[in-house]
Amino acid sequence: MTKPRIVVLVSGGGTNLQAIIDAQQTGEIDADIVAVVSNKRQAYGLTRAENANIPTLYFPLLPYKKAGKSREQYDADLAAKVAEYEPDLIVLAGWMHILSPSFLTPFRNQVINLHPALPGAFDGINAIERTFAAYQAGEVTHGGCMVHIAIPEVDAGPVIIQEEIPIHTDDTLETFATRLHAVEHRLIVTAVKKMLAQL
């Protein structure tokens, strides 16, 4: 029996990708990571993939912008590229690009996204910084992170798993972020396992 196939999309350092790779190598995740895709050439996530002998694809948006092509055209072409890997699950692990229906529709309920805030709390970019600033302003007492099914609305979609993360009185942004990232690494693995169990 062939194992489920996972494609991971990254834009940066790839620490959450590394958590998935580590879990796959220990057998905690019983699947094959068949490709890692990045829209940034310098993304260290690509290096992590190469170190684990996982095929990589660099697929930038800039040439589309220069050619006057739409974001939807980019997303459609990206979907076609990803489809070649025949994925059962697509994981957005620090993918800094809002995907339109041109990408999401062909992979309905197969794309999951990690977001470092709780549902409806701090959608969009810089969620960790915005959470901490809100704490300092007395507006929130905690942060959190979640993994959800990706839909066209940013950081919305059915939640697979979420966890509150307390903010301590002696926290700096750095200490809070470090603690949050550790939870992210755990939740992304749990979410992948939950999704694979439904296949």
Report the mean per-residue pLDDT for the chain. 96
Catalytic residues: 115
Residues 190 and 24 sit within 8 Å (Cβ to Cβ): no
* Residues 61-79, mean pLDDT to the nearest whole number: 96
CB 117 within 8 A of CB 126: no
Q: What percent of the chain has pLDDT over 70?
A: 100
Query: Where residue 99 falls among pLDDT bands split at 50, 70, 90?
Result: very high
Nearest to 147 by CA among 137, 135, 160: 160
Q: Residue 13 above 90 pLDDT?
A: yes
pTM for this prediction: 0.96
Confidence of residue 1 (pLDDT cuts 50, 70, 90): confident
